[in-house]
Structure 1
Amino acid sequence: MLSKNEEEYLEAMYGLIEEGERLSTKNISERLGISMASTSEMMKKLSKKGYLDYERYKKIELTDKGFKTAKELKRKHRLLETFLSTILNRKEVHTEACEMEHAISRESTDALCKYLGRPIECPDGKAIPGCEDKDCTECLTSTLDRLEIGQKARIIDFFCGKKAKMRLNELGLVPDSRIEVTNKISNGPVKIKVKGSEIAIGKGLAKKILVMREYE
């Protein structure tokens, strides 16, 4: 069981990963407005609980358990922001969503997502992570630019010009080909692995590539 404070740290780390920023004590402490000493102590605590790999002065990495939990928290937050903004017409939704996300269950989150029409982005235009229900094709479908680092997916279709599509095909990107996101840069290209090769796709073009998330 995680405390509200621990969940805030995990969510902040997900945000840094999403923006292509390095996970470091300094970056995490600055994101949360908390001292580096307090952040270091929390990293140790979360590491002992199996949510991340942490060694002082070295790179911090979320474990699979940590990433899944952080992603779910961000999903809750952005769905709640969408609900507060579009249904209740609230203006300042971030703080309220922060309070509510720690109390809402996964089942209620999925029900809220369905009620809202399975939105793909929050009022700020940021991607809402999909659920991991393999039967929920709406949540599994996405565009390439919205995938997280480490996410695997299958190419479905392209919504770009003929020349761009031909170029993508030459790089090995064709319908049904499997890919994995290896890196993302905020407002920059998305790096993916396809057929054993790593290629970079510009963010504008990545928005025009429809994919289906895949989970093992």
Structure 2
Amino acid sequence: MNLMKHLSENIEEYLETIYRLSDSRKPVTTTDISREMKIAPASVTQMLKKLDSNGYVKYSPYRGAVLTDRGYRIARRITRKHRLLERFLHDVLGIKRERIHRQACEMEHSLSDDAERALCHLLNMPGECPDEKPIPACEFKFQTCEECIEMKDADIEEIGCRDENLKSLTEMDENQSGRVSFIRGDYRVVRRLMDMGITIGAPLTMIKRAPLSGPIEVEIRGSRVALGRDIADNVFIETEG
């Protein structure tokens, strides 16, 4: 099974690039995309119009492109595969960091969802790539990684995928609310969060998102809790808007 097998590698690269360049899903300019992908601006504009007509982005001349929910989901999936592959190439195969990005780019498009899941298990559910960029959550219908491991022999066709797009706590906007939907990590991570009152299904509101590596402050069950980015990246929310 491969949830993106119908898409061309070129489309996936564009969506992944927009995802990587965007901040809270704000528009990404044609110039930025052109510079990042090393493609002529006119060609980028032509592709953005195509992506807009196919429902992957909303494109406005002079403003740029923003991912739709459909495009955002695809971009997160391919970004997840890319960053998992970077971890594998660096941690398991010992390939030098300056070479792993290009190699992962070549491999991400052909990595099946079965292989992605097995790779995640092999790497012990990593939260970030070697460059310390967060790895998006998987799309499978699990509430914790422990559930996924317990059902490691289950066919992912039967497991199915979530209907909603999830955001990690570090991706949420201030004053945005939602419910905890997925927690990444082993039982120790889950236990640590439970001790803070952060459990699956609990309503949560983002209070303050400090810049860079600062803490995340949320309100949950009537109390305010401060979380380090290392753990906030592993709490995923089904947002309300």
Structure 2-normalised TM-score? Answer: 0.65
Q: How does 1:1-216 map to 2 (within 5 A)?
A: 1-17=6-22, 22-91=27-96, 92-138=99-145, 144-145=169-170, 147=171, 152-154=178-180, 175=198, 178-179=203-204, 187=212, 205-207=228-230, 209=232, 212-215=235-238
Write the distance in 1 (CA, Å) between the matches of 2:212 and 2:179.
21
> What corresponds to 2:162 in structure 1?
none
Q: C-alpha displacement at 1:58, in angstroms? A: 3.4
**2:22 is paired with a residue of what secondary structure?**
helix
Among all aligned residue pairs of Structure 1 and Structure 2, give the percentage whose two residues are the same amino acid: 34
Question: Aligned residue pairs: how many?
Answer: 196
Write the distance in 2 (CA, Å) between the matches of 1:42 and 1:70.
16
Amino acid at match of 1:50: G
Q: Which string of whole-angstrom CA distances, capped at 9 and with x for unpartnered residues, describes residues 50-108 of structure 1? A: 11111322342211110000000100000011111111111121111000001111221
Q: Which string of whole-angstrom CA distances, capped at 9 and with x for unpartnered residues, describes residues 121-171 of structure 1? A: 11111111110223251399x9733x46689553999x8xxxxx9xxxxxx
Write the distance in 2 (CA, Å) between the matches of 1:49 and 1:128.
26
CA contact (8 A) 2:56 2:70 kept: yes
CA contact (8 A) 2:89 2:95 kept: yes
**Cα separation, partners in 2 of 1:182 and 1:79, compared to 1, 3 Å:** farther
CA contact (8 A) 1:152 1:213 kept: no
**2:236 is paired with a residue of what secondary structure?**
strand
Structure 1-normalised TM-score? Answer: 0.71
Write the distance in 1 (CA, Å) between the matches of 2:204 and 2:180.
6
**Cα separation, partners in 2 of 1:120 and 1:206, compared to 1, 3 Å:** closer
Write the distance in 2 (CA, Å) between the matches of 1:151 and 1:113.
29
Write the distance in 2 (CA, Å) between the matches of 1:183 and 1:72.
27
Write the distance in 2 (CA, Å) between the matches of 1:151 and 1:8.
31
**Cα separation, partners in 2 of 1:179 and 1:35, compared to 1, 3 Å:** farther
Residue segments in structure 2 that go unaligned for 5+ positions in a row? 1-5, 149-166, 184-189
> What corresponds to 1:198 in structure 2?
none
Write the distance in 2 (CA, Å) between the matches of 1:102 and 1:93.
15
CA contact (8 A) 2:77 2:136 kept: yes
CA contact (8 A) 1:120 1:127 kept: yes
Q: C-alpha displacement at 1:179, in angstroms? A: 3.8
CA contact (8 A) 1:18 1:148 kept: no
CA contact (8 A) 1:179 1:194 kept: yes
Q: C-alpha displacement at 1:185, in angstroms? A: 8.6
Write the distance in 1 (CA, Å) between the matches of 2:204 and 2:11.
32
